Structure 1
């Protein structure tokens, strides 16, 4: 019997008690389709769905494996390992050998296609679904002769994932792994950095030769947020100095034609989901009605949090819950955990969180029931530990904001969409597709399950990823200054002349404005005029050494805040200027623990004070103020002819630490409370390799067993 592929897929989605004859007929159709037309989304979906049934028939299993070999996604066979059935043929072994690499990785059909196109074109841009294996093959693209390789990632969580992968890979032991701008460089370097850090490194080493670079989640160059310009500039600078690159991300239809033409790059787009996706939309189920979740009957109520708790309780496997805001994540975790029994699986993490943030923080209570929340304001080391414990199965349910839809890999089988907003903006179709993509992980699951408690947009792909440097005739002045003369349009060249005129009028050089990247030109010129009108202030700002007295630092912080921070960075109603400056002084001079900082607020619950602390440290101290202080230092030194250095203040704000080896440890993912206990044993370390070598002789007796495990898996890998 000849069945249509669409009919087969629909039957597999809707029914769980399919007969053996149907499955055999379905697999024969799939095999014929692959042999005659090749692989496709529906073919892969059918293979995944039949595999997920774990059918015991030897005939079904063997034919299924033949289809898997024909599809050239050999990992499916490994995932079927526990299913009975005779298996093995010379053809299958030869086929798999053709897709095997010396490193031991067995490529999928699509990964081999990417490697082939990369070998041919050297500069490629790839759009492919999540769990596709785009980042898995990054090490395979690095040539033995490469001296400097750059891997640019959007988040510190993803950065930590890459760093861990490379420090454990014996092929790259001859490389110096660089993940902070304060590290020294070796003869061979692999830079694994955010775009902000890459930007600083390129400024520090203007003649740095780069052989190959990767940018993960490259679509972020066209986002409408504060960081998109930094991403775009990083891409522009690297693309102008390398002959090979690999730009990757999910679900965009096209990439800037002007970029592809300017840099002679080749665009590849794949639609195949290598993990099949199911979707159950509960948003249109009326209150009081019953809906079915894998055979479990669930009643919908008027209470959205009760609906969430009931749904999560009905699910099998680990679950990610997407919410729009930080506070919502915490409230949702509370409701989900309220009816669950306690477990001992997270005791180490609970003790760590309690000693680092405070026993009063509600996260500890939720962890007792294998529930956690995760958002961008949390310290990165806490985020990392939560994701790690989720991936090893210690946490069952993780409630998160958009932080976990930016390339971070988890072991979640289920995704529940609780909100249809991202912050205060509606989710786009691209956001929804990206969230859905987090359900199911290749190598663990054949099918990912998605549940929608709210209505969401249906349009899936982001469309075209624009590159503002080459695609716009309306560049802001600070962007205009970053573009080479030869890449400016005639309209933008006229605007450049206007900026030059403004420089002459204000008696400053174009290079000064250009050095203060991403700071509005009009804000910089306003500060120049302020200094000219207030020379006494410049005298009051002068200091020697690395740390000014408090009153002097207050002037620096005030001017950085008032003149150079963006309007969006100053909009927090609960963090007005006086609080930001006073707390920054406290942070720099007293170096408080998070717990001490939290208890420094006089109002609000402990959780509210924790959120406020996280927001101030993450958004202002670690990002906004350092960038503004750097620009202020440039302008002050230019106008005063001096060499004031605020780098120590910036380090204390950005990292809560001042010594280079301590910054190195923190940016590797080591929590500050651990660093303070062991700092003296790493005084002479300048790279990740130095730190690894020093661990064996370090006295770790002051660390708890859980803290020792953090240190080991972060710096030495899980299998040390």
Structure 2
């Protein structure tokens, strides 16, 4: 039987191999499907699912997926056996694709034939069925394991392939828990896109399942205690900010969920602040007694139980699977001695299948990096051959993603919703915005620099499959659910012009990228197409034997490696009064971390720092305590600016005594902002932070003035359309205008609303802590209504539109509690949302 199983697998993989080669015009050969093959396949599957003690889930799903795709369904009705075999191995959810009459409300498959078969299928499905508030759900065997563990375990580490459905079952169990207990949920995600997705998922399921007394929010104010159950969906930046602003943060009994935990890996790097913020946030939760359960989750994490134990100091339950409910195949083009070959990689096979490409003349740009017209035409042709599938084309940079999308020919006529979206972007961004041009063809691009309202609406259009081809950057690796049957990637380079610091996709990142093809209950098969295999073999991150293997990652759980590497320098500086400066690039953040820890905890910092891998003696910490007594800046100011060196903060406290503005709308604000910039730039001790937060091109001269103007326009609620319209685009080529539009958007998104507030925060905390100026810059609004709408999760441009069209005469009582203001605004928006344009309305699911 084992030999027959191998033959069956090889036959079906060859059928797909030759079919794909023929589809993309590389080879015209074909393999016929015989009746004998079908009978032997069913025989093997029956054996594997009923006789074998621990059946291979991946084998069954691989064979079942390929047979379902290629069999003649009019001649062979295999729906019943698909449901039967997949139910046997605990994956009835995958069988839903095969049953177009599946009752999603009752969670029932259509009749399977005999009463006995129906009985056995029902018994198998009952093992994988759960009920939340009288609503039944089918889960996989792996999902059931998560569900059961969340009833018993304090800390749970979950590792699985991308499409295994771990986030869905976690969400369901959290809502089931809220039906029985009064708890808060803190759900930490790495990006705004994922924050929006998780928020909408919670709101949708709360409504569907009729879960009472739940309040889903994207920020922490400390005034949410009036609600029975709060669900805080936060980025790591929002979570750490909450800890900085209050000593009683997250004081109710709570469950902590950390999605995409693999992002802490970059704490090994000295310049990745976001990874450090995530790691430090987790350490804040480590010492809170009211955290009743902790769940960390990520794709393909080795020894995730060790990660949980080292971060939180508690034994962690490991729930790991390598089984994937979707078959993922990788096809690559390689060049051997001037001949082109196509390879097929499957996780069940030690070696890839390979065939010579008989029509190599269509291949362009192999072994090169430039995205010129010749390569883009070839890419366009390649995608057209794949047919009307949903394709994601991986791009090394945001600019290249836009270039690819502009060049693709698309699918011709688009539906009315996409035409409406084009008009919406013209009016809310700019008539020359590149996305307008690409949407005309049903094509889009997606990266981290999109305006929030564009990102939100674009993801909705993609999920509804109104857009077929999407050029995408590494945002795809951050858990965003953009459905696609095919992923197309040229090479592992995350650059166009190489230098010694040029980043590349790792083997692990490539595995996660490939896992984005195909989604649970949506697709049986997801395919990845690699257009240049040699570029992977030449990369330091890959070895030929494991080029496209399903790589795992072991996560660092502290600063130990970097601290030991720089121990001598770090100890020398922390034992002195020397402020952190630009000569400490490799370890300056560790110096600041140590000083902040000692300032906060005193001699207790010895054990706190030891928990994160920084080992200093009691004597050393006592000496640092003495050094810190020389500073006069209050401790609470340092606590609110935890990534600043206290000695640098002390310089600001002593030297900057000028007036700072209360609001961006007052006269003279530009000049005050200018003086703050000059002080931080020209003061030797603060210059290192100025250079850290202000991009080089904006650090001086007319570009600095331009940045200040953008800060003022953004804070004073000038719409993005008006900001871009005020730019002088006369006598410029169209592509140059498009570049400048995207550059301005990036500056507003990253520098104005994120970097500048971080730079100016110490000055405001010291001189005017009640000022709303920085929060206005972060939000892009200073008035109460639009600012609150933005804090509720509505994108800025949409919040300004809603304020103008719904709340024109709306009055807010003076000194009214912020949570009451939000409740009133939410009620009005929900009542009037049907009066709003379609694409504005679609962004309001974050409200519930």
- Scaled by the length of structure 1, what TM-score is found? 0.88
State the secondary structure of the residue aligned to 1:369.
coil
The 1-side partners of 2:811 and 2:524 are apart by 48
Shift of 1:594: 1.5
User: Which string of whole-angstrom CA distances, capped at 9 and with x for unpartnered residues, describes residues 377-407 of structure 1?
Assistant: 1112211211111111211100011112210
Alignment of 1:666-677 (within 5 A): 666-677=790-801
User: Which string of whole-angstrom CA distances, capped at 9 and with x for unpartnered residues, describes residues 301-346 of structure 1?
Assistant: 2432222111111113100111111110111111113x75343441
1:93 aligns to 2:134 (yes or no): no
Number of the residue aligned with 1:526: 648
The 1-side partners of 2:783 and 2:338 are apart by 58
The 2-side partners of 1:699 and 1:64 are apart by 43
The 2-side partners of 1:114 and 1:374 are apart by 32
Moved more, 685-694 or 326-335: 685-694
Shift of 1:515: 3.0
User: Compared with structure 1, are the counterparts of its residues 154 and 544 closer, same or farther at alpha carbon in structure 2 (3 Å cutoff)?
Assistant: closer
The 2-side partners of 1:401 and 1:98 are apart by 40
Shift of 1:496: 4.2
1:209 aligns to 2:252 (yes or no): yes
User: Which string of whole-angstrom CA distances, capped at 9 and with x for unpartnered residues, describes residues 38-89 of structure 1?
Assistant: 3433333223333333553557443333211111111122110149994451
Q: 1:248 aligns with which of 281, 297, 302?
A: 297
Q: 2:764 aligns with which of 626, 630, 633?
A: 633
CA contact (8 A) 1:131 1:275 kept: yes
Alignment of 1:111-126 (within 5 A): 111-126=143-158
Number of the residue aligned with 1:500: 625
Moved more, 544-553 or 461-470: 544-553
Alignment of 1:10-29 (within 5 A): 10-16=10-16, 17-29=32-44
Q: 2:80 aligns with which of 62, 65, 72?
A: 62
Alignment of 1:4-403 (within 5 A): 5-16=5-16, 17-34=32-49, 35-53=52-70, 55-56=72-73, 60-82=78-100, 86-87=112-113, 89-103=118-132, 104-142=136-174, 143=177, 144-168=180-204, 169-170=206-207, 171-182=210-221, 184-185=223-224, 186-187=226-227, 188-207=229-248, 208-223=251-266, 224=269, 225-241=272-288, 242-255=291-304, 257=306, 259-260=308-309, 262-284=313-335, 299-302=362-365, 303-316=374-387, 317-337=389-409, 341-345=412-416, 346-403=418-475
Q: 1:435 aligns with which of 513, 518, 521?
A: 513
The 1-side partners of 2:677 and 2:4 are apart by 68
The 1-side partners of 2:334 and 2:777 are apart by 44
User: Which string of whole-angstrom CA distances, capped at 9 and with x for unpartnered residues, describes residues 474-518 of structure 1?
Assistant: 481333345954233373346644543442233445554343122
Number of the residue aligned with 1:541: 659
Alignment of 1:501-580 (within 5 A): 501-508=626-633, 512-519=637-644, 521=645, 524-526=646-648, 528-529=650-651, 532=654, 534=655, 537-538=656-657, 540-542=658-660, 549-550=668-669, 551-559=671-679, 563=686, 565=689, 567-573=691-697, 576=700, 578-579=704-705
The 1-side partners of 2:189 and 2:659 are apart by 37
User: Compared with structure 1, are the counterparts of its residues 31 and 655 closer, same or farther at alpha carbon in structure 2 (3 Å cutoff)?
Assistant: same
Shift of 1:286: 8.8
The 2-side partners of 1:441 and 1:357 are apart by 32
The 1-side partners of 2:623 and 2:379 are apart by 56
Shift of 1:451: 0.6
CA contact (8 A) 1:72 1:109 kept: yes
Shift of 1:450: 0.3
Q: CA RMSD in A?
A: 3.3
- Give the total of aligned pairs: 699
CA contact (8 A) 1:229 1:518 kept: no
Moved more, 108-117 or 498-507: 498-507
The 2-side partners of 1:461 and 1:332 are apart by 28
Segments of 5+ residues of structure 2 without an aligned counterpart are 17-31, 102-109, 345-354, 366-373, 496-501, 537-541, 565-588, 813-817
The 2-side partners of 1:499 and 1:566 are apart by 26
CA contact (8 A) 1:213 1:244 kept: yes
User: Compared with structure 1, are the counterparts of its residues 545 and 407 closer, same or farther at alpha carbon in structure 2 (3 Å cutoff)?
Assistant: closer
The 2-side partners of 1:696 and 1:323 are apart by 38
User: Compared with structure 1, are the counterparts of its residues 545 and 40 closer, same or farther at alpha carbon in structure 2 (3 Å cutoff)?
Assistant: closer
User: Compared with structure 1, are the counterparts of its residues 395 and 48 closer, same or farther at alpha carbon in structure 2 (3 Å cutoff)?
Assistant: same
User: Compared with structure 1, are the counterparts of its residues 269 and 571 closer, same or farther at alpha carbon in structure 2 (3 Å cutoff)?
Assistant: same
Q: 2:722 aligns with which of 596, 603, 623?
A: 596
CA contact (8 A) 2:299 2:512 kept: yes
Segments of 5+ residues of structure 1 without an aligned counterpart are 638-642
CA contact (8 A) 1:127 1:270 kept: yes
Shift of 1:15: 0.9
Shift of 1:572: 4.3
The 2-side partners of 1:162 and 1:438 are apart by 17
CA contact (8 A) 1:256 1:464 kept: no
CA contact (8 A) 1:516 1:631 kept: yes
The 2-side partners of 1:117 and 1:471 are apart by 33
State the secondary structure of the residue aligned to 2:616.
helix
CA contact (8 A) 1:413 1:447 kept: yes
CA contact (8 A) 1:661 1:683 kept: no
The 2-side partners of 1:707 and 1:349 are apart by 10
Number of the residue aligned with 1:640: none
Shift of 1:620: 0.9
CA contact (8 A) 1:305 1:332 kept: yes
User: Compared with structure 1, are the counterparts of its residues 68 and 257 closer, same or farther at alpha carbon in structure 2 (3 Å cutoff)?
Assistant: closer
Shift of 1:215: 0.7
